[in-house]
Amino acid sequence: MGKDVKLAIFYYSSTGTNYKLAKAAEEAAKETGAEVKLVKVPELAPEEAINGNPAWKAHLEETKDVPTASLDDLEWADAYIFSVPTRYGTVPSQMKQFLDTTGGLWSKGKLANKVVSAMTSASNPHGGQEQTILNLYTTMFHWGAIVAAPGYTDESIFAAGGNPYGTSVTADQEGNWKEDVTAAVKHQAKRTIQVASAVKKGMQ
C-alpha cells in the first residue's frame, strides 16, 4: 500500500509522550512499506527550565540522536504526521517556530497537495486536545495540504477516546498514558499513507 509514499513524522515532546506517539506511527508506517523519516523540532526552552524537571532532562538526553527537522524533510515527503502536546489549546512554541519558517516553501507551492494528519496529548481529557489539532490544521489549510483526519473509520478510535480529528492521549507528568491509544495511532498512520498513495497516483 505504501511503497510509493514518503512519510515524514514531525514531533515535539518534553517528557516523552509525543515521542511515543510518533514512534508508534513510525512502526505502523513502515509496515505498509512506506519510506519514513522521524524528526524532532528544536528545543527552545531555557536550560534552567529543563534542568528543573528530571523527566524533561532525561527525555532530552534519551532522544539526542533523533534527527532535527528541516525544511528539506517537508519538501521530500508526500505525507506528514505531526505529534505535539497541547499548550493552552494550541501548538507548543517549538513547533510554531518550525512552522513559521515554511514561508519560502509555501510561496513556491511546495507544500500544496501534501497529505497531513496530527496527534496530541494533554494532562487531562479536556485539556485542549481537539483545539490543538484544529489549530495545527489551520496552518496546513494555508499550505493547500490535504488533511487526512481519522474520523470514525476504525473501532480503535472509539477505544482511544473517540477523537475524530486525530489521536489524542491523556498523560501524567511522567509521560504515562491513561488510555491505550496505540491501535488508534497505527490506524491513523496507515490511513494517512493510504490517502497519500491515492492522492499521489491521482495527481500523476
Domain limits for position 96: 6-203
Model pLDDT for residues 174-193, shown as the tens digit of each residue: 678 888 999 999 999 999 99
Q: Give the CATH number, domain containing residue 148.
A: 3.40.50.360
Model pLDDT for residues 83-100, shown as the tens digit of each residue: 999 999 999 999 999 999
Describe the crossing of helices 17-31 and 182-203 by its angle, rounded to 10 degrees: 50
Q: Does pLDDT of 129 surpass 90? A: yes
Domain count, the chain: 1
pLDDT at position 162, please? 94
Residues 67, 97, 28, 110, CA torsion sign = negative
3-state secondary structure of 163: coil
Q: Is residue 1 part of a domain?
A: no
For the purposes of burial, counting CB atoms within 10 Å of the CB of 77, is it exposed (0-12), middle (13-18) or buried (19 or more)? buried
Q: What is the pTM of this model?
A: 0.96
